[in-house]
């Protein structure tokens, strides 16, 4: 599942809407919407994202948040470490090989740690 797919599902379920109903309103198939929610499809097009925002009638802040989630919801990620250090390549490979074995709590800790390090690096 992707962060975007998870949020769309939360919004849909909170409003008591089925995938079939939402898909019909958006002009997509229920199978596509299911694949989007489950992370089997990449980020939606800008047009579809705007339809989703309109469908849920969400305000600007939430719309911006949904846009950011869509941008970071590519289910198949390629990390190009060419030109980076050996440690960068090692980290990318270890993550690729081990991510499926990590518990949700471990993923949250790693994500928070990485986000903090990136933020601190931006301040340098």
**Residue-by-residue pLDDT tens, the chain, 124 positions:** 888 999 999 999 999 999 999 999 999 999 999 999 998 888 899 999 999 999 999 998 999 999 989 988 877 788 899 999 999 999 999 999 999 999 999 999 999 999 899 887 766 5
C-beta separation of 29 from 51 below 8 A: no
**Count of CB atoms situated within 10 Å of the CB of 115:** 10
Listed by start position, the domains of the chain span 3-71, 86-122
Does CATH number 1.10.10.10 belong to domain 3-71?
A: no
Q: What whole-number distance in Å separates Cα of residue 2 and Cα of residue 13? A: 16
Question: Taking the CA of residue 111 as centre, how many other CA atoms within 13 Å lie in the half-sphere pointing to its CB?
Answer: 10
């Amino acid at each position: 599942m992707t962060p975007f797919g998870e949020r769309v599902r939360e919004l849909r379920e909170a409003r008591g809407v089925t995938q079939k109903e939402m898909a019909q309103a958006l002009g997509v198939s229920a199978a596509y919407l299911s694949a989007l929610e489950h992370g089997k499809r990449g980020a939606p097009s800008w047009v579809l994202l705007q339809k989703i925002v309109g469908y849920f009638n969400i305000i600007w802040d939430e719309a911006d948040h949904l846009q950011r989630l869509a941008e970071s919801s590519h289910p198949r990620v390629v990390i190009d470490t060419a030109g980076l250090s050996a440690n960068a390549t090692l980290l990318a490979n270890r993550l690729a090989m081990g991510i499926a074995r990590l518990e949700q709590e471990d993923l949250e800790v790693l994500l928070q740690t990485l986000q903090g390090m990136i933020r601190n690096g931006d301040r340098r």
